[in-house]
Amino acid sequence: MPDTGVAVSRPPASGGKPLVRLSALKRYFDVSPPWLARVLERKPRAIVQAVAGIDIEIRKGETFSLVGESGCGKSTVARLVVGLYPPTDGAIEFDGNDMAARRGRVEMSAIRRRMQMIFQDPFASLNPRWRVFDIIAEPIRAFKLASSTTEVRQRVDDLLRQVKLTPADGSKYPHEFSGGQRQRISIARALASRPEFLVCDEPTSALDVSVQAQILNLMMELQREHGLTYLFISHNLAVVYHISTRVGVMYLGRLVEVADTDTLFRRPKHPYTRMLLDTIPDLDMTGRQRAPVAGEVPSPINPPSGCAFHPRCPFANDRCKRERPATIPIEGGLVACHAIEEGRLKAEDRGYGGH
């Protein structure tokens, strides 16, 4: 098998202009019981702070990954960015345009065309009653990107080839394809409007590993060819390590650490980042000692006071319980941790087998 040890030329980690900027972005969900039940059972309103205020800049041409466990809000961020949910507070800027600004249909459509999304579940993300051709043609028709039916056909055939399917596959229905092939169709649809920015919500977590590698390779290839910018959501750190330029770690709706991929994996700072890294299975069989991982993610309805991670953190003290840590810049990245800020805790150097 080829491709081992090739030098990596990821897109530049700095210097690129920000394409997407999220500022103090918040999204709350009301999960209260119905009004009558609240009154009768004297239950309070229940609000989930799925995204509790995050700031991210995604630079042109990079892959910015968000990682975290389920319920940390990473998928909500993805849906906020593409406009599937309106934000509760904060702003989303795309290439200098405030997404919340009022604008006409045509202008809005012009911005929407430039960002698309790839979903997690290849079995739910394609309309089961449509032929693959129509699924991929839909954005082309919606954004009026082709002037004739022959042009639509050419474009769809071309897209199918780009994702390593054949034009003949266009006349089939989604159920005739395997999970990996469906994800290729999903990617073709996302590329149909010639976007610059793709939001990828766990695009490989429903796939088998050998297929996952195909899809990741395809995504990296397409990024190089089209100069795409990715926001990549995943819980799989090994996948994130391979595909990302920069990584943000989320815990209970907040970013706890942002850094270049290598910095994050080789010199993790936040205790939660370290804990996540410890959960990556040791496939190189180096016998690397893994620190025991304690506790579970608390409910986002009643997040812990102060630093939300303090109940599981081996380094927590009274201040961590009381006071929410501010985000401080460190080694080109950002981290929100009192122990790091106070110098109680140093960045940890980590090596991995095969390096």
Partner 1 sequence: MIPGSNQAPLLEVRNLRVEFPTRRGTLVAVDDVSFSISPGEVLGVVGESGAGKSLTGAAIIGLLEPPGRIAGGEVVLEGERIDNLPYERMRRIRGARIGAIFQDPLTSLNPLYSIGRQLVETIQTHLPLSAADARQRAIDLLKEVGIPGAETRVDHYPHQFSGGMRQRVVIALALCANPRLIVADEPTTALDVSIQAQIIALLKRLCREHGTAVMLVTHDMGVIAETADRVAVMYAGRLAEIGPVRDVVKNASHPYTRGLMGSIPSLGVRTERLTQIDGAMPRLTAIPRGCAFNPRCPDAGQRCTAERPDLMPAGVTRAACWLYHSQGVGPALARETANA
Partner 2 sequence: MALIDSFRRAADSDIWHSFRASPMTMAAAAVTLFIVLAAFLAPLIALQNPFDPANLNLSDAMRPPMFFGGEWSFPMGSDDQGRDLYSAILYGTRLSLEVGLAVVFFSMILGIGLGLVAGYVGGTLDAIIMRIADVQLTFPAILIALLIDGVVRGVISVKRHEEIAVFVIVASISLAFWVQYARTVRGSVMVERNKEYVQAARVIGLPRWLIMFRHVLPNVMGPVLVIATINLGLAIITEATLSFLGVGLPSTQPSLGTLIRIGNEYLNSGEWWITIFPGLTLAALVLAVNLLGDWLRDALNPKLR
Strands 333-335 and 89-94, bridge-based pairing = unpaired
Q: Does 6 bind partner 1 (CB under 8 A)?
A: yes
Q: Report the residue number, 34 or 343, with the smaller CB distance to partner 2.
A: 34
Instruction: Quote the CA–CA distance of 79 and 248 in Å, as a whole number.
Output: 16
The distance of closest approach from Cβ of residue 86 to partner 2 in the complex, given in angstroms and rounded to an integer, is: 12
Q: Which two tokens stand for residue 207?
A: 């796939």
Closer of 81 and 250 to partner 2 (Cβ): 81
Residue closer to partner 2 (CB basis): 190 or 345: 190
Residue 327 sits in the site that holds partner 2 (CB under 8 A): no
On the CB side of 311, how many CA atoms lie within 13 Å of its CA?
A: 12
What's the maximum distance between 2 C-alpha atoms anywhere in the chain?
68
Binds partner 2 by CB under 8 A, chosen from 38, 79, 226, 266? 79
Instruction: Identify the CA nearest to 77 among candidates 304, 270, 236, 231.
Output: 231
Min dist CB 229 to partner 2, Å, is: 16
Strands of the 229-234 sheet, one edge to the other: 115-118, 197-201, 229-234, 63-67, 246-251, 254-260, 333-335, 328-330
Q: Which of 33, 83, 90, 298 binds partner 2 (CB under 8 A)?
A: 83
What is the rounded CA–CA span in Å between residue 123 and residue 65?
23
**Nearer to partner 1 (CB atom), residue 143 or residue 173:** 173
Nearer to partner 2, 195 or 306 (CB): 195
C-beta of residue 50 within 8 angstroms of C-beta of residue 29: yes
Q: Kindly tell me which of 135 and 237 has the beta carbon lying closer to partner 2.
A: 135
Minimum CB–partner distance for residue 277 and partner 2 (Å): 30
Residues 6+ apart with CB under 8 A from 266: 349, 350, 351
Q: Helix axis angle, 179-191 relative to 149-162, nearest 10°?
A: 130
Residue 208 binds partner 1, judged by CB under 8 A: yes
DSSP letter assigned to residue 1 = -
How many residues does this entry show for the chain? 355
How many other C-beta atoms lie within 10 A of the C-beta of residue 65? 27
Give the whole-angstrom CA distance, residue 22 versus residue 182: 31
How do strand 115-118 and strand 197-201 relate by DSSP bridges?
parallel
Choose the one of partner 1, partner 2, none that binds residue 117, judging by a C-beta under 5 to 8 angstroms depending on kind. partner 2
Q: Which does 27 bind (CB under 5 to 8 A by kind): partner 2, partner 1, none?
A: none
**79 binds, options partner 1, partner 2, none, Cβ within 5 to 8 A by partner type:** partner 2
Q: Does residue number 189 form part of the binding site for partner 2 (CB under 8 A)?
A: yes
- Both tokens of 24, joined, read 């103090």
Tokens of 233: 């959501």
By CB under 8 A, tell whether 150 contacts partner 1. Answer: no
What are the residues facing 234 on neighbouring strands? 67
- Binding to partner 1 in span 70-89, by CB under 8 A: 70
Using rule CB under 8 A, residue 289 touches partner 1: no
Q: How far is the CB of 248 from partner 2 (least distance, A)?
A: 22
Choice from 2, 128, 281, 354 touching partner 2 (CB under 8 A): 128
Q: Tell me which stretch binds partner 1 (CB under 8 A): 30-38, 107-115, 206-214, 316-324.
A: 206-214
Residue 183 touching partner 2 (CB under 8 A):
no
What is the binding site for partner 1 (CB under 8 A)?
1-6, 8-9, 69-70, 164-165, 178-181, 184, 208-214, 216-217, 220, 235-239, 241-242, 261, 265, 275-276, 278-285, 290, 292-293, 296-297, 352-355
What is the binding site for partner 2 (CB under 8 A)?
79, 82-84, 108-109, 112, 115-117, 119-121, 124-129, 138-139, 142-143, 186, 189, 193
